[in-house]
Structure 1
Amino acid sequence: MSQILRVQDLHVSYGHIAAVKGISLAINTGEITALVGANGAGKSTTLLAISGLLKSASGQIFLEDEDISQQSPHHIVQKGVVQVAEGRAILTTLTVRENLELGAYTRKDKTQIGQDMEWVFTLFPVLKNRATGLAGNLSGGEQQMLAIGRALMAKPKVLLLDEPSMGLAPLVVQEIFRILKEINQTGLSILLVEQNVRQALKIAKHGYVLENGSIVLSDTGANLLSNPKVIEAYLGA
């Protein structure tokens, strides 16, 4: 299995505080990979470093064997690494359709953009019904769907998802994860950061457990779900 994204010995600090301490991980092409752990473990920091929004102190990040660790965020997006931020970060004063169109701002292929918009509406029918309404009037779950749809409009090679289940009702969380599996079945590689360890590992082919800025476990999602250390720390008896 080829690797589309590889992080090698990554160190990230906030001032004198080390948030990520030399982690290495890989995302296989066409797979969902989960990065799980408690709040404050360094999960979001890792995503921000991959996206170029935080500069690493040392280490390298490779996209298809190209070192992107010193590139600017907009170049990283253009190369195909797109992040759905924690908290969704949708533009509430624009319409749903305008938010989706902004996701495609780096693209010039208008016909394909239109087709991708229809695909997003197929994935999230509620967004089609609300296309001309303000994004700020959507529910939390609908806003999360819009944030994912906007990222898909950039036609990513790798989709980075930061806590997509945060603050959502259980039924909405189940629907979001079902759609993520459907998106992945098109061949899109996904790196999923989640505090909802059970849901994340259920859909992930491979998983990494992050504690205090270091990776302490790495295995298939299924094996991690049955690992006694994971069960004790994150899943309850």
Structure 2
Amino acid sequence: MSALLHIENLSVNYGHIQAVKNISLELQNSEITALVGANGAGKSTSLLAISGLIKAASGTIRMAGEDISTLSPHQIVQKGVVQVAEGRAILTTLTVQENLDLGAYTRKDKIQIHRDLDYIFTLFPVLKNRATGLAGNLSGGEQQMLAIGRALMAKPKVLLLDEPSMGLAPLMVQEIFRVLKEINQSGLTILLVEQNVRQALKIAQRGYVLENGEIVLQDSGQNLLHNPRVIAAYLGA
């Protein structure tokens, strides 16, 4: 089976520091892939390089067989790779509806955009109820829902998620992960970067463990959940 997104020998430097060291990973179509590890391991840097928001020092990134390594961030979005940033990055002075509309700014298919908006409101009913209110008045969990909804309005083939559970109450974390499973079951391919290793590996078909910029383990999500090294480092006894 050929990968939908294939990253090969990706390295990223910050000055003289090599933050990501020749990592290779694959995202299979319609799967959730988790990239887990401690804070500072290089997870977010890897996502930023895939999105084109920082320049890789070396390596190739292929989307459906096409090299997208040299494309600009907006061209990468047009190829179907869309990121939900760490910290959500919603526009707080705009309404919920305006934030969602911005997600679809590259699209012209108005009828399908309307259908997708209805789908977002089905996934996140609270957003429909708050559509005309300012996004800045939403709770942290609601803002994360809006960030995911805005990304889905871009009609991604691959959704990159950077720490979607960060700073959220446990019940809201459960709800976010439930929705991620639901949108994956609709066929969307997801790369999930998470410090919440247990939650991420529970819903991921496959996973990679990143330590100090290097991939040290890769396996199915379930196997990694029961791997003694993962348990000792991230999950406790």
TM superposition score normalised by structure 1: 1.00
Residue in structure 2 matched with residue 117 of structure 1 by the alignment: 117
Distance 1:191 1:127 in 2: 24
Aligned-pair CA distance for 1:218 = 0.1
Residue in structure 2 matched with residue 82 of structure 1 by the alignment: 82
Consecutive unaligned residues in structure 1, runs of 5 or more? none
Q: How does 1:32-51 map to 2 (within 5 A)?
A: 32-51=32-51
Residue in structure 2 matched with residue 211 of structure 1 by the alignment: 211
Distance 2:118 2:86 in 1: 25
Paired residues in the alignment total 237
Distance 2:21 2:115 in 1: 42
Residue in structure 2 matched with residue 91 of structure 1 by the alignment: 91
- Tell me the amino acid that sits aligned with residue 171 of structure 1: L
Distance 2:56 2:143 in 1: 30
Distance 1:3 1:30 in 2: 10
Distance 1:2 1:142 in 2: 36
Identity %: 80
Structure 1 residue 188 corresponds to structure 2 residue 188: yes
Report Cα offsets for 1:34-89 as digits up to 9, x if no partner: 00000000000000000000100000000001000110000000110000000000
Distance 1:2 1:177 in 2: 27
Residue in structure 1 matched with residue 134 of structure 2 by the alignment: 134
Q: What secondary structure sits across from 1:219 in the alignment?
A: strand
Aligned-pair CA distance for 1:186 = 0.7
TM superposition score normalised by structure 2: 1.00
Q: What secondary structure sits across from 2:39 in the alignment?
A: coil
- Tell me the amino acid that sits aligned with residue 227 of structure 2: N
- Tell me the amino acid that sits aligned with residue 158 of structure 1: V
Distance 2:75 2:15 in 1: 25
- Tell me the amino acid that sits aligned with residue 53 of structure 2: L
Aligned-pair CA distance for 1:2 = 3.2
Distance 1:117 1:16 in 2: 45
- Tell me the amino acid that sits aligned with residue 161 of structure 2: L
Provide runs of 4+ in structure 1 moved above 6 Å.
Answer: none
- Tell me the amino acid that sits aligned with residue 211 of structure 1: E
Residue in structure 2 matched with residue 174 of structure 1 by the alignment: 174
Distance 1:54 1:31 in 2: 25
Distance 2:187 2:2 in 1: 13
Residue in structure 1 matched with residue 8 of structure 2 by the alignment: 8
Distance 2:2 2:9 in 1: 20
Q: What secondary structure sits across from 1:3 in the alignment?
A: coil
Consecutive unaligned residues in structure 2, runs of 5 or more? none
Task: Report the aligned-residue RMSD.
Answer: 0.4
